[in-house]
Amino acid sequence: MNRTQGFGICLIAAVLVCGGAVAADWPQFCGPNRDNISQEKGLARKWPEGGPKLLWRIPLGTGFASPSVAAGKVYVLDRPDDKQDVLRCLSLQDGKELWNFTYDAPGTPTHTGSRTAPTIDGRYVYTVGIMGDLYCVDLETHKPVWNKNLCTDFKVAEPMWGVAQAPSLYGDLLIVAPQAPDAYVVAYKKATGELVWKSQGLGLLGYTTPVVAKLAGVDQVIMAGSCNPSGPEKGTVAAFSLKDGSILWRYENWQNPIPIPFPTALPNDRLFITGGYKGGSAMLQIAQKDGKLEAKELFKTDDSIGSQIQQPLLIGQCLYMNSNSNDRSDGMECVGLDGQIKWKTKGAEGLPSFGFGPILYADNLIFNLDGDKGILHLIDPSPDGYKELAQAKLLDGKEIWSPMALVDGKLLIRSQSEMKCIDVKNP
């Protein structure tokens, strides 16, 4: 596996259920409900020549960490060098830096740089850096309340591409995944950092994040594990009890050496799993049976359906995703909830592939940022075909894979060297 292949891993980010967030905020990776969907209305359906108005731009160090937004402030975990991580707080209005918190984190994993979005919860912000540093920082004092290190605390070797996850919140718990042999997923008291429970070992070290969801009437934390393609170790998708970390159900018919997107909870107690590296996708039905939870496979696809980096979007009765991997490119796809492909941009003359770029949905519009070219496409979602409304070249460089954020008509996008804020309401 080369560096470009491997980094798919590191981008991934993370999973959280935040309490106390304002509806218009974007307080965590993938937005308020972790689905890259915004409830904003009144967005523009056409753009002027040259694209939407640029409100501000700031330089950032190399990386992929996406921004989170709360109460008019933007938070991003930056890594300007291989020695320190920097949590920056910016004004959403003009991009001015209001404060920062910096800590030492020396190390040079393959394909270095920042990784994941902060998680904002009331007075505190939680981050996980590339070297495994977990911090709780007070938003009023700008000082750490407590901190841990997932690698040293649980005696886990530093992953080849660094640690790539963000904390999940549930009630008074903060949940992360050291993926250690005796502590695959753990829960801390979010206020103090006290360890509450740890799960048994599950599988090999990977780069996805545990996600909290309610399925079959039960709140649970779900984690996708890696398989060893040249060894006997199987990958497992499993759910853990939020009370004590015990395993509630497990599924082993989806094998992926490097799972990146977290499993996506869907209506009617379904769970969609997708990935690259020839893993394909699967749909599960979670149900109660004899007082226990079980996972039943509804369908499993080959790798003609599979997003290596980004989460899929659920719009109506279809999933929209950039179905691309290191060894294939099907472009953007619209897939029915029965696993049938409605359409894809591959093979259609003049339509983009999008690479590993991020997607976001708001006001019946899909924003799809080409991960190879930095072109933002505005799309009218439809199971009948690809319908583009506008496009604009907004970023330069390569590996433009950072997830986007949308608050108050302001869309935040980033490259390997800068973050921009553009006006998609009054462009």
Q: What are 86-108's pLDDT values in tens digits?
A: 999 999 999 999 999 999 999 99
Residue pLDDT, tens place only, 305-331: 999 999 999 999 999 999 999 989 999
Q: In the predicted model, is pLDDT for residue 8 greater than 50?
A: no
State the average pLDDT over residues 44-51.
95
Question: Residue 349: its pLDDT value, please?
Answer: 86
Give me Rg for the CA atoms of the chain: 20
Task: Give the model's pLDDT for residue 109.
Answer: 92
Q: What percent of the chain has pLDDT over 90?
A: 86
Check residue 209 and give its pLDDT: 86
Please give the Cα distance from 249 to 295 (Å, whole number): 7
Write down the pTM of the prediction. 0.93
**What does the angle CA 339 – CA 344 – CA 350 come to, to the nearest 5 degrees?**
180
Contacts of 25 (CB under 8 A, 6+ apart): 32, 69, 70, 71, 120, 407
Q: What is the pLDDT of residue 414?
A: 98
Given this model, what pLDDT does residue 378 score? 98
* CA 260/CA 115 separation, integer angstroms: 12
Q: Tell me: pLDDT of 5 over 50.
A: no
Reply yes or no on whether the pLDDT at 387 is more than 70.
yes
The beta strands (E) that lie in 151-309 are given as: 168-170, 173-176, 186-189, 195-198, 211-215, 218-224, 237-241, 247-251, 264-266, 270-275, 280-289, 292-300
Say whether pLDDT at 221 is over 80.
Answer: yes
Specify the pLDDT at position 62. Answer: 96
pLDDT interval class at 285 (50, 70, 90)? very high
User: What pLDDT is attached to residue 180?
Assistant: 94
**Within 36-193, where are the H helices?**
150-153
> Mean per-residue pLDDT for 102-129?
95
Q: Assign residue 212 the CATH number of its domain.
A: 2.140.10.10
Say what the pLDDT of residue 18 is. 40
Which pLDDT does position 12 carry in this prediction? Answer: 37
Q: Please report, rounded to a whole number, the percentage of residues in the chain having pLDDT higher than 70.
A: 95
- How would residue 4 be classed by pLDDT, with cut points 50, 70 and 90? very low
In the prediction, which pLDDT does 231 show?
Answer: 85
Q: At 2, is the pLDDT very low, low, confident or very high (cuts 50, 70, 90)? A: very low
Comparing C-alpha atoms, which of 206, 197, 267 is closest to residue 236? 206
Q: How many domains would you assign to the chain?
A: 1
| Strands, sheet with 37-38, edge to edge from the N-terminal-most edge strand | 37-38, 359-362, 365-369, 375-379, 388-393
What is the pairing mode between strands 53-59 and 418-423? antiparallel
For residue 384, give its domain range: 3-423
Average pLDDT over every residue of 383-400: 97
Q: Tell whether the model's pLDDT for residue 15 goes beyond 70.
A: no
| Distance between first and last Cα of the chain | 42
What b/e sequence results for 234-243 when a residue is b if at least 16 CB atoms lie within 10 Å of its CB, and e otherwise? ebbbbbbbbe
Backbone phi and psi for residue 62, each to the nearest 5 degrees, phi listed first: -55, 140
pLDDT given at position 6: 45
Instruction: Indicate the range of 52-56, 230-234, 290-294, 342-346 predicted with least confidence.
Output: 230-234
Average pLDDT over residues 384-413: 97
Nearest to 52, CA basis, from 416, 309, 404: 404
